Each structure stands twice: as C-alpha cells, then as structure tokens.
Amino acid sequence: SAAEKGGYASFMLKEIAEQPKAVADTLLGRIDASGRLTLDEVRIPDAVLREADKVVVIACGTAFHAGLIAKYAIEHWTRIPCEVELASEFRYRDPILNRRTLVIAISQSGETMDTLMALRHAREQGAKVLAVCNTNGSTIPRESDAVLYTHAGPEVAVASTKAFLTQLVACYLLALYLGQVRGTKWGDEIHAVVRDLARIGDEVERVLETMEPVRALARSLADRNTVLFLGRHVGYPVALEGALKLKELAYMHAEGFAAGELKHGPIALIEEGLPVVVVVPSPRGRSVLHDKIVSNIQEIRARGARTIVIAEEGDEAVVPYADHLVRIPATPTLLQPLVATVPLQVFACELATARGNEVDQPRNLAKSVTVE
C-alpha cells in the first residue's frame, strides 16, 4: 500500500532513500570510542581467525558483487588471500578447503538455496563459515558458525539496494576486524578508515540530493537497447552491479567490464552514440588507476561512445571527455563503491519506470531464490 511505501512511488525508491540510515545502523555499536572494532557477534575464536590462511566468499547476484569488493579490502587490510565465487559454481566444483579456511557467505534473505548448499559444502570440509545476512534467524545464519547482521531493515523491492550498501559496510568491518585480531594492520590507516566509514552515511545522503540530472538522463535513454558499464579496481564490481540493476529492472542489455579488458574484446562493441557509464577511481592516492581510466574514456569516446562519467568532486581531468558528468564525494578508494553505486541504482530505477516497468516486481524474478 501507499502507506507502506512511506509516500514513495515504489519500495525501491524508499529503500534507496533509506541507505544513509541503513549504513549508519550497520556501523552502530561496532566501533568503540577509541576506534577499535567490537564485533562480539563474530563468535569464531580469535585463535581460529589468526590461523586462517584463506578467505573464500560465496554469494549470488548483488551479494556476489559485494563479495568481489570485499576481496580488495580483505587482501589489502589483512594480507590473507581471498577468493570470491558464485555459490552456484562453488558447490559443483571440488574447492580446496580445510579447517584454516574462513568462508564468508553473504545473503540478504538468508534463504538463497545456492548459497545455503555452498555453505553446507564448505562446513562438511571443516571450514568455518561466517554469514553476512540481513534477515534475523534465517536459514543461512542458523547454519553458519557465526553471523554478522547487516541492519538495513526489511528490503521489499526485488532489486537489492540498501542491503548491498550494508553488505559492503559489514565486509569492510570484517576485514578491519580480521586485521585487528591478526595484528597485521592496526594503525593510522585503520583509524582513518574507521573515521571515513563513520561519515559515509552523510556522503550517501549528499549523493541522493543531487540525483535529478541522473534521472533526466535515464529518461532520455528510455528507448535504447544497450548500456555498457566500465570500472577498474573496486569500480569494476560497481560496474557489474550497475549492469545487473539495469538488466533486472529495465530489461535492457547491460554489461559491466573491467576497463583494462576493453582492448581485449569489448571495445569492438563501441559504436556511435552507445551510452557507456564509467566509474572513475579517485585521482588522489592510486593515481595510476585514475590515469588509466581517463585514457579508457578517451578511447571509447574517440569511437563514438556517449560517456556517462561518475567521478569524484574536484576531478577535473575527466571533464573534457564526459558527455554527462555525475559527481560523487571524495572517499578513500576502497570505500568508493558506497557512494558510486547510488547513482547507478537511481539510473536503473528511473530508466525502468520510463520504460513502463514495474520496479518492485520485475518479470521472472523472485526476491529470494529458494530453488537451485
């Protein structure tokens, strides 16, 4: 009903708007006054976490994209090798796991059958499983060794939005916590990240306040057939997520690519007027990444692409090559997905609406996939 949607036209719009609070709620009570992480729910003993020699993330769909981003954070902050795999592939392989493997199962619903079967497969081989889940008491956390709940609140729209952002927050917290327990990283950098995380909800709010041009752009593309998404580093999974949103909501052909892979094939797809969304990493810090993507934007634009550039405030290098420029607040590279994903959600939602689609209940999809 209209009341349940809190005045919004759809649950999806409501849930997009709830993201600043969802992010803040997921951080609440998990960082103490001195900036240390207090994840009491992670009942896996410190000794086990210290001895873990591999992390494997299993998930499906949007939760898988959160896992891909988590890998960058886990490996950077803990130096533990991390693999990320689609649950539906993992369970039918012969994965190498043992007691020193920490498996992270990410699921909004906690009922996804593929993820559940993958976690059973992992536990049978002695791995410890930690669930990142949004639904209290659901099957996946019940069958795991421990659970870190995301506090997004109920997500009704089939397309995941606020659950994704909170999955990212939970994964960042977990990565920092592993670093803290293992003593690999506990210092200025972690303190700085914790500080940045604490204000990220406000940054998401600022992004939401500037979305009107993105909506107008989406409406102008309503009759297109294809949109491509490019990113590098953590911007690559963001590109995959942007494409997934567009597929499931707008029923358009949308694909995400690692920008560095363009020249290995996908650049052949570029033709006059093709909309290409590019997620640009911060020009500060790892500026090599930034320079690389600026040349990728030039390459596709020279071949006729209509470039939709998502770049940090103050990034002037991209201006000459952007047909449409979407500004996001400056954040550390690893945290950028929390702000960069939001315009892509708004874009897909508006484009779907302009095409006359029902955004909360896309055709052929179910909110939780309890079949294999």
- Which residues participate in catalysis according to the annotation? 367
End-to-end CA distance of the chain: 31
Least CB distance to ligand AGP at residue 34 (A):
33
Least CB distance to ligand AGP at residue 247 (A):
10
Of the CA atoms within 13 Å of residue 276, those in its CB half-sphere come to 31
* Residue number with CB closer to ligand AGP (241 or 315): 241
* Residue number with CB closer to ligand AGP (159 or 165): 159
- Continuous segment of H or E residues that includes residue 261: none
Closest by Cα among 111, 185, 81 to 368: 111
Residues in the chain: 372
Q: How far does CA 9 lie from the centroid of its chain?
A: 24
Token pair of 275, please?
Answer: 């909309």
* Residue number with CB closer to ligand AGP (322 or 344): 344
| Beta-strand pair 253-258/146-149 | unpaired
How far apart are the C-alpha atoms of 128 and 121, rounded to whole Å? 11
- Residue 127 · residue 99 · CB < 8 Å: yes
Q: Which residues contact 316 (CB under 8 A, 6 or more apart)?
A: none
Least CB distance to ligand AGP at residue 358 (A):
14
Of the CA atoms within 13 Å of residue 118, those in its CB half-sphere come to 32
Q: Which residues contact 114 (CB under 8 A, 6 or more apart)?
A: 60, 86, 87, 88, 91, 369, 372
* Residue number with CB closer to ligand AGP (53 or 358): 358
How far apart are the C-alpha atoms of 147 and 203, rounded to whole Å? 27
Least CB distance to ligand AGP at residue 106 (A):
7
Q: How far does CA 49 lie from the centroid of its chain?
A: 24
* Residue number with CB closer to ligand AGP (108 or 296): 108
* Residue number with CB closer to ligand AGP (122 or 274): 122
Strand-pairing partners, residue 107, are: 133
Residue nearest to ligand AGP (CB): 61
Least CB distance to ligand AGP at residue 244 (A):
6
Least CB distance to ligand AGP at residue 161 (A):
8
- Residue 83 · residue 104 · CB < 8 Å: no
Residues that bind ligand AGP (CB under 6 A): 60-63, 107-109, 112, 115, 158-160, 248, 368-369
Closest by Cα among 178, 230, 175 to 197: 175
